[in-house]
C-alpha cells in the first residue's frame, strides 16, 4: 500500500495536490475539533458549515466572480454571523444550545438555497459550480486552493501555539480564566473565529454536510487515548491528516468513489477502533468487569465458607 502511495505521489500531479490538501485539512480540523468537543459544542461545526452557504451565494451575487478567495470570504462572514446569532439566541432566550443550532442552521441554509435559485434564474449557467460547496468536490482542488489552505493552516497553528495557555483555560474553566484576568469571552470568541476559518477552508473539499465529521471524529477518537490536551490535539490532527491522505488514496485508486465521504469513512473506522481498543475502551472495560466479577465471586465464596466453618450455621 505504501508503495502505491509513493508511486502515486511521484507520478500523479492531481493526486499530489488533492492529497496534500486533504492532509492539511484533516490536521487543521482535527486540532480545532478538540476544542469544540471539549467545550461541548461538537455540533457547532455542522451548523456553521451549513450557514456559510448564503455568504457564498451573496458574495457571488455582489462580485459576480467565482474567485475562490471572494467566495470563501463571504462564507467566513456568514459563518461568523451564524456563530453570533447562535450565542445571542442561547444567552437571551430560554432556548437551549441545540435548539438554536437547529434553528439557525435550517434558516440560514434555506436563505442560501433561496439565493442559489435566484442566481440560477438570473445569471444562467454562469453560476454552475456553486453547488459543489454543498457536497464538496475534492478533485476540483487546484494548486492555488491548496496554497490558501496551507497558509491558513500555518496561521491557525501558530495562533494556537501562541495562545495555548489561554485557549486551554477558556476551554476547561472559563470562570477561573476570567477571575485571573484572562478575558474569557474574548478568547472564547477568538477560538470560535478560528473554528469558522477552519470550516470555511474545508468546504471545497468535503462540503457543508460532512464538515462536522472532520471536526468531531478525530477529536473524539483522540480523547479515548489521553487525558492531556496537548497529546489530544497532536493525536487528533494526526488522525485527521491520516484519514485525509488515506481517503484521497482510496478514492483515486477505485474509480467512482468520492473523496469527502471516503475520508469520513476512514475517520469513523479510527473512532470505532479507538472506542474499542483504547485503554479505557469497551473491550478493556469488559475484561476488567469480568475479572472483577471473578474476584468478587471468589471472595464471596471464601467468605461464606469461613462463616459456615466459624459459626457452624
Partner 1 sequence: MILFSPQTQILLIGIVVSLSCTLVGCFLLLRNMSMMTDAISHTILLGIVIGFFLTKDLSSPMLIISAGLIGVLTVYLVEAMHSTKLVSEDSAIGIVFPLLFSIAIIIISKYARNTHLDVSCVMLGDITFAPYKKLIIGNLDLGARAIYSSGVVLVMNLAFLILFFKELKVSTFDPALAFVLGMMPSLIHYLLMTLVSVTVVASFEAVGSILVIAFMIGSPATAYLLTEDLKKMIVFSSIIGILNSFLGYEIAAYFDVSIPGSIALMTGITFLCVFLFSPKNGLVFQWMTLRRNKHAFTKDTFLLHLYNHHGVTEEISAETIGNHLCWSSEQVNNVSSALLENGFITMQEDCFVITSKGEERLRKNYSFILEQC
The residue ranges that bind partner 1 (CB under 8 A) are 37, 40-43, 45-46, 50, 89, 92-96, 98-103, 105-118, 121, 131, 134-135, 209-210, 212-213, 215-217, 219-220, 223-224, 254, 256-258, 260-262, 264-265, 268, 271, 275, 280-282
DSSP assigned state of 126: G
The Cα 28–Cα 32 span in angstroms is 6
Cell output for 165: 495557555
Q: How far is CA 198 from CA 149, 214, 221, 244, 251, in A?
A: 9, 10, 19, 15, 23
The Cα 267–Cα 239 span in angstroms is 7
In this complex, which beta carbon is closest to partner 1, that of residue 109 or of residue 187?
A: 109
In this complex, which beta carbon is closest to partner 1, that of residue 68 or of residue 99?
A: 99
The contacts of residue 4 (CB under 8 Å, 6+ apart) are 249, 253
CB of 127 to partner 1, least distance (A): 13
CB of 41 to partner 1, least distance (A): 8
DSSP states along 56-99: HHHHHHHH----HHHHHHHHHHHHHHHHHHHHHHHHHSS--HHH
In this complex, which beta carbon is closest to partner 1, that of residue 174 or of residue 281?
A: 281
CB of 28 to partner 1, least distance (A): 17
The Cα 270–Cα 278 span in angstroms is 11
In this complex, which beta carbon is closest to partner 1, that of residue 136 or of residue 188?
A: 136
CA atoms within 13 A on the CB side of 255: 0
In this complex, which beta carbon is closest to partner 1, that of residue 166 or of residue 214?
A: 214
CB of 162 to partner 1, least distance (A): 28
CB of 125 to partner 1, least distance (A): 16
In this complex, which beta carbon is closest to partner 1, that of residue 65 or of residue 93?
A: 93
In this complex, which beta carbon is closest to partner 1, that of residue 166 or of residue 263?
A: 263
CB of 74 to partner 1, least distance (A): 17
CB of 275 to partner 1, least distance (A): 6
In this complex, which beta carbon is closest to partner 1, that of residue 170 or of residue 267?
A: 267
CB of 17 to partner 1, least distance (A): 21
Please identify which residue in the block is written with the cell numbers 470562570.
175
In this complex, which beta carbon is closest to partner 1, that of residue 70 or of residue 113?
A: 113
The Cα 115–Cα 228 span in angstroms is 45
How many residues are listed for the chain in this entry?
Answer: 313
Measure CA 278 to chain center. Answer: 21
Specify the 3-state DSSP secondary structure of 1.
Answer: coil
The Cα 244–Cα 202 span in angstroms is 11
CB of 179 to partner 1, least distance (A): 25
The Cα 295–Cα 188 span in angstroms is 48
Cell output for 130: 456553486
Amino acid at each position: 500500500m505504501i508503495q502505491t502511495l509513493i508511486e502515486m505521489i511521484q507520478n500523479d500531479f492531481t493526486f499530489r495536490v488533492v492529497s496534500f490538501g486533504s492532509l492539511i485539512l484533516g490536521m487543521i480540523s482535527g486540532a480545532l475539533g478538540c476544542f469544540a468537543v471539549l467545550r461541548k459544542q461538537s455540533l457547532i461545526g455542522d451548523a456553521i458549515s451549513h450557514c456559510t452557504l448564503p455568504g457564498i451565494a451573496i458574495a457571488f451575487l455582489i462580485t459576480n466572480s467565482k474567485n475562490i478567495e471572494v467566495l470563501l470570504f463571504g462564507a467566513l462572514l456568514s459563518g461568523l454571523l451564524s456563530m453570533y446569532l447562535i450565542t445571542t439566541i442561547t444567552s437571551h432566550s430560554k432556548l437551549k444550545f441545540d435548539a438554536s443550532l437547529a434553528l439557525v442552521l435550517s434558516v440560514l441554509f434555506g436563505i442560501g438555497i433561496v439565493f442559489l435559485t435566484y442566481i440560477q434564474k438570473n445569471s444562467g449557467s454562469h453560476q454552475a459550480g456553486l453547488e459543489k460547496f454543498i457536497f464538496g468536490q475534492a478533485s476540483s482542488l487546484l494548486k492555488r486552493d491548496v496554497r490558501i489552505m496551507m497558509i491558513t493552516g500555518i496561521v491557525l497553528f501558530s495562533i494556537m501555539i501562541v495562545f495555548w495557555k489561554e485557549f486551554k483555560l477558556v476551554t476547561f474553566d472559563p470562570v477561573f480564566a476570567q477571575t485571573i484576568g484572562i478575558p474569557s469571552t474574548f478568547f472564547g470568541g477568538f477560538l470560535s473565529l478560528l473554528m469558522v476559518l477552519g470550516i470555511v477552508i474545508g468546504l471545497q473539499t468535503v462540503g457543508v454536510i460532512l464538515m462536522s465529521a472532520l471536526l468531531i471524529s478525530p477529536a473524539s477518537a483522540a480523547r479515548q487515548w489521553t487525558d492531556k490536551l496537548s497529546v489530544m490535539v497532536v493525536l487528533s490532527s494526526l488522525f485527521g491528516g491520516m484519514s485525509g491522505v488515506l481517503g484521497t488514496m482510496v478514492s483515486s485508486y477505485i474509480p467512482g468513489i468520492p473523496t469527502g465521504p471516503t475520508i469520513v469513512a476512514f475517520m469513523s473506522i479510527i473512532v470505532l477502533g479507538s472506542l474499542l481498543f483504547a485503554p479505557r475502551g469497551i473491550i478493556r472495560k469488559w475484561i476488567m468487569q469480568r475479572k472483577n466479577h471473578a474476584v468478587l465471586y471468589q471472595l464471596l465464596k471464601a467468605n461464606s465458607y469461613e462463616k459456615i466453618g466459624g459459626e457452624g450455621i
